[in-house]
Amino acid sequence: MAEKSREELEKFGRLQAEPVVYTMNSIIDLGTHASLTHTRYTITLSTSSQIILFRLPTLSPSVCSVADTSNSTSGWTYYAMESVCPHAGGPMADSHVDLEDSGYVASCPWHAYDFDLRTGDSSFGVTACVFPVVISDDLVSVEIPGRGVTLVEMEGVSEVVEFKQDGTVKDTARTTELADDATMCEWCVHILNTSDPERKIELTTQLFSKFATREQTSNAMIIGAGTAKPPDEPPREALQAVKPWEMPNPGRGGTLKSRVTMLHALANVEQWAIDLALDICVRFAAFRTSPPLGSGDKPQPLPRTFFYDWLRVANDEAKHFSLLRARLEAMGSHFGALPVHHGLWESARLTSEDLRARISIIALVHEARGLDINPLTIAKFRTAKDLDSVGVLEIIHRDEVTHVTTGHRWLSWICEQEGTQPVEVFRGYVLEYFRGAVKGPFNTEARAEAGMDACYYTDLAGGPARGHVVAGG
C-alpha cells in the first residue's frame, strides 16, 4: 500500500478500512497527569488543527470488555479525538459521554452521532479520527500523524465552577452532610433545600461527580425513588423577590449598569435552572411510561441515563451561575444587589404532576427561548466591548443547546414507549400549561441542532396570556 503524503496526514484524513501507513508521527507532550485536572481539553496544533483530549475514570474489566493500560494511570484513562464531528462539524468539546459495553462513547451535541472514544467507530457508519495517548513516568503524550507537528495551545473545556471564596477552581471533594450511602434522591432534596447559592453549586458539582464516577463501578449510586420529598419551592437567601413584571428594565447594554442588570437577571435564571434539573430527577424518579392499550407492553421505568443527563444539566447550570456571579463581582456588583423573580419556578409548579409537561414547558419552551435570546444579548455585550462577559455568555449558549437536546431526547423516548408523536404531545402541553404565544424571532439553527424543527414552534400558542414569560435556563 502506498504511503500517505505529509499534506494528507496533517489534514487528519479519516481512518480507512485499510490501515494507514504514516511516514512520520509527532509525539506531543501535554503535561503530567497530576497537572491535568479538567475532564477534557481543546488542543490546538501547529497545523491549525484541533483535537480533544478526554480524561475519564478508568473502567474495570467487569464494566468494559476491552482494556488498554497504556493510556491509563492512577484511576484515570485518556483518549484523544478530532475536535469536529465528521457528520456535520459539531463541536466534540461539548459532546455527551456515555458508557456502553465496549467502553466510553462520545455523542455529538448537534445530532447525537455517537463515537467510540477508543476506535472512533459510530453506530451511524461514519468514523471519527482518534489518536494514541501514551503515558510514561506520569507524562501524558499524544501521537499525531505528520512530521514536526507541535503544540500551540491547550485549553481546558469549561466544566469547572468558580467558587466565591477566591474566584478559582476549588476541590469539591470536601466532606458533606450526607452519608456515603445516600441515594440520588436524598442528594437532590438536600441541595434543593440549600438556600446558600455558593453551597448549592458546590454540592451540585459534588453530586454529579459522585454519580458519574460511581456509574462506572459495581457501586452505582442508588436512585432511591420515594426516599426523599422535594420542597414545594426551594428556599432563597437574602434576595428581594418581586413579580416578573416589576423587574428593573435592563436597557440596551450600552452602560455598565445596563449590563450588570442583564447579567444579574441571567444569574437568577441559572440558579433556578439548577433546582429545576435536580427537581426533575427526584420528583419523577418513580415515573413509568404508559404503553398503548392492547399492546401488551409493560410500563417502563426511566433508565439511569435519564438521571445522568439531568444531573449533567444541573452541573452545567451550577457552572453558569458561578461564572455569572464571578463576572458581576468583577464589574463591581454582586448577586443579590438587584431584585429577582420566581417566575421560572411557577412553570415548574404547574407541571409538577406530569413529566411530559415538565420537559415540554421547561426544556422545550423556556430553555429553547434562551437559544433565541442569547445571540442578541451576546451582540449587545460585544458592541459594548465587554468581551469578558461575551466569553461567559458564549459558554452558556453552547451548553444550552445541549440542554434543549436533552429535553427533546427524553420527550422523544417517552413518546416512543407510549406510541405517541413528540410534536403533537409537545404542542398539546403548551396549549394546556403555557400562557400566551410562543414568540419569535426564533434561532432556527440552534433549535434544529437541538432536534426542534419548525413544526414544533410554528404558530404555537398556549392559553390566554396571564403574567410574564421567562426565557432561558
Give residue-wise pLDDT tens across range 382-441.
999 999 999 999 989 988 998 999 999 999 999 999 999 999 999 999 999 888 888 889
Say what percent of the chain tops pLDDT 70.
85
CA-to-CA distance for 350 and 357, rounded, in angstroms?
A: 9
CA-to-CA distance for 360 and 358, rounded, in angstroms?
A: 5
Confidence of residue 278 (pLDDT cuts 50, 70, 90): very high
CA-to-CA distance for 286 and 184, rounded, in angstroms?
A: 12
- The answer to whether 344 and 276 have CB atoms below 8 angstroms apart is yes
Q: How far is the CA of 41 from the CAs of 32, 49, 153, 435, in angstroms?
A: 14, 14, 10, 42
Mean pLDDT of the region 41-62: 86
Higher pLDDT, 8 or 264: 264
The number of beta carbons lying within 10 Å of the beta carbon of residue 135 is: 19
Mean pLDDT of the region 239-256: 86
Angle at which helix 256-283 crosses helix 197-214, to 10 degrees, equals 50
Strand partners, 169: 162
Q: Which of 122-126, 145-149, 302-306 has the highest mean pLDDT?
A: 302-306
pLDDT score, position 13: 42
Q: How far is CA 454 from the centre of its chain?
A: 23
Higher pLDDT, 89 or 265: 265
The dihedral of CA 365, 358, 411, 322: what is its sign? positive
Mean pLDDT of the region 44-61: 86
Arch. (CATH architecture) of 6-156: 3-layer Sandwich (2.102)
Higher pLDDT, 278 or 101: 278
- The answer to whether 52 and 160 have CB atoms below 8 angstroms apart is no
Mean pLDDT of the region 295-324: 93
| Spans of all domains in the chain | 6-156, 184-456
- The answer to whether 176 and 206 have CB atoms below 8 angstroms apart is yes
Cis peptide bond upstream of 441, omega within 30: yes
Whether pLDDT at 280 is above 60: yes
Task: Please state which of the ranges 14-23, 39-48, 123-132, 368-377 shows the lowest mean pLDDT.
Answer: 14-23
Task: Please state which of the ranges 151-160, 191-200, 463-472 shows the lowest mean pLDDT.
Answer: 463-472
Whether pLDDT at 296 is above 50: yes
pTM of the model: 0.69
Read off the pLDDT of residues 132-190 as tens digits, 9 standing for 90 and up. 999 988 899 999 988 889 999 998 886 555 555 443 334 333 445 688 899 999 999 99
Confidence of residue 56 (pLDDT cuts 50, 70, 90): confident
Q: Which residues contact 429 (CB under 8 A, 6 or more apart)?
A: 351, 354, 356, 357, 360, 361
Mean pLDDT of the region 64-86: 80
Task: Please state which of the ranges 45-59, 262-276, 348-362 shows the lowest mean pLDDT.
Answer: 45-59
Higher pLDDT, 265 or 107: 265
Strand partners, 154: 43
pLDDT score, position 469: 41
Q: What are phi and psi of 44, to 5 degrees?
A: -100, 130
- The answer to whether 221 and 183 have CB atoms below 8 angstroms apart is yes
pLDDT score, position 47: 87
Mean pLDDT of the region 255-274: 95
The rounded mean pLDDT for the chain is 85
pLDDT score, position 72: 86
Task: Please state which of the ranges 118-132, 228-242, 313-327, 454-468 shows the lowest mean pLDDT.
Answer: 454-468
pLDDT score, position 104: 85
Higher pLDDT, 410 or 123: 410
- The answer to whether 313 and 407 have CB atoms below 8 angstroms apart is no
Give the H/E segment covering residue 141.
strand 139-145
pLDDT score, position 435: 81
pLDDT score, position 126: 86
Q: Which residues contact 293 (CB under 8 A, 6 or more apart)?
A: none
CA-to-CA distance for 259 and 386, rounded, in angstroms?
A: 9
Higher pLDDT, 188 or 297: 188
Mean pLDDT of the region 439-468: 82
- The answer to whether 224 and 183 have CB atoms below 8 angstroms apart is yes
- The answer to whether 343 and 350 have CB atoms below 8 angstroms apart is no
